[in-house]
């Protein structure tokens, strides 16, 4: 069982409090996931642009009928707030940056569910959150196994509580390696402004195809009805130091894609890679630009 303050991932997470009579309707028209759910619901989804490309991802916690907490793992609060406020017209909605009072801790591995249950009095089920005082916990996207994100004014206190019941401090590489091996893309590291959700396999987890209109919805519907994407995220592994983001991947003289996020594992690395489904030959050798061979693990 490991814990890691989200800040140790060196990414600018954001927490926004969104309240008002029109708050749910407003968010429903922007978010890819259906938010017409009762208080206590936690929904993972995306913010897209008009072309269906990924702007950010978030967990939206419905605290009350007219009160929502939006937490974005790797998007700065200023950018996310500006994105939302640019679509406010006559809506009775208040958006406040509450990042400073929502420190985040990730906990994953054997024993994580029990540790969360001991601290919060219950373990959240899928698509729900549990609240204890000013702290909340919900299931995250760091591991294929049990993993949770805990938000509280004092992230250090949370980490200390989990350490007292047997958790050890994780590292950036251990957390990133767990996520990458689990084939869980990070936004915007793996999927960003030039990418479609479907290219990262997020159509099942992050998109509702029955909720109705939202920004980018027409593109998502077309992709669902007309066919597949031409690129896809894969998990690769190799020896030596992790490659820098956007390192070309080649088969012979042909470039078939590029790396995205990566992490060291032992004497080697694992990485996310965006590969062309048109040009990729799964039976042929795949190499980095420096000639090092890599192996496909998932995709």
pLDDT per residue as tens, the chain (299 positions): 888 777 777 788 999 999 999 999 999 999 999 999 999 999 999 999 999 999 999 999 999 999 999 999 999 999 999 999 999 998 999 999 999 999 999 999 989 999 999 999 999 999 999 999 999 999 999 999 999 999 999 888 888 888 888 888 989 999 999 999 999 999 999 999 999 999 999 999 999 999 999 999 999 999 988 878 999 999 999 999 999 999 999 999 999 999 999 999 999 999 999 999 999 999 999 999 999 999 999 76
Domain boundaries, the chain: 2-181, 227-298
**Residue 83 phi, psi (nearest 5):** -60, -45
Own/partner pairs for 85-90, CB < 8 Å, 24+ apart? 87/26, 87/29, 87/30, 87/215, 88/26
Sheet of 67-72, strands arranged across? 42-48, 54-64, 67-72, 14-19, 94-97
Can you tell me whether residue 101 is helix, strand or coil?
A: helix
Looking at the DSSP assignment, which residues form a beta bridge with residue 57?
46
CATH of region 2-181 = 3.30.1360.120
The encoded tokens of residue 123 equal 């373990």
Q: Does domain 227-298 have CATH number 3.40.50.720?
A: no
């Amino acid at each position: 069982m490991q814990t890691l303050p989200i800040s140790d991932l060196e990414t600018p997470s954001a927490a926004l409090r969104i309240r008002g009579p029109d708050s749910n309707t407003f968010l429903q028209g922007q978010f890819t996931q259906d938010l017409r759910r009762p208080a206590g619901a936690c929904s993972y989804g995306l913010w897209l642009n008009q072309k269906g490309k990924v702007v950010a991802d978030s967990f939206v916690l419905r605290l009350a009928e007219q009160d929502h907490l939006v937490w974005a793992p790797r998007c700065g609060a200023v950018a996310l707030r500006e994105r939302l406020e640019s679509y406010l017209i006559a809506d009775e909605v208040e958006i406040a940056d509450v990042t400073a009072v929502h420190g985040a801790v990730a906990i994953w591995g054997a024993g994580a569910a029990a540790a969360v249950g001991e601290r919060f009095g219950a373990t959240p089920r899928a698509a729900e959150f549990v609240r204890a005082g000013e702290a909340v916990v919900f299931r995250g996207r760091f591991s294929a196994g049990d993993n949770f994100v805990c938000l509280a004014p004092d992230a250090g206190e949370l980490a200390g509580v989990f350490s007292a019941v047997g958790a050890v401090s994780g590292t950036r590489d251990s957390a990133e390696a767990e996520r990458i091996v689990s084939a869980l893309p990070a936004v915007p590291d793996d999927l960003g402004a030039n990418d479609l959700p479907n290219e990262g396999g997020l159509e099942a987890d992050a998109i509702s195809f029955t909720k109705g209109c939202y920004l980018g919805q027409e593109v998502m519907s077309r992709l669902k009805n007309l066919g597949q994407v031409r690129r896809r995220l894969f998990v690769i592994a190799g020896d030596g130091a992790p490659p820098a983001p956007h390192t070309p991947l080649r088969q012979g003289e042909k470039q078939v894609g590029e790396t995205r996020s990566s992490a060291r594992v032992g004497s080697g690395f694992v990485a996310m890679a965006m590969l062309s489904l048109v040009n990729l030959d799964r039976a042929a050798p795949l190499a980095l630009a420096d000639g090092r061979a890599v192996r496909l693990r998932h995709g």
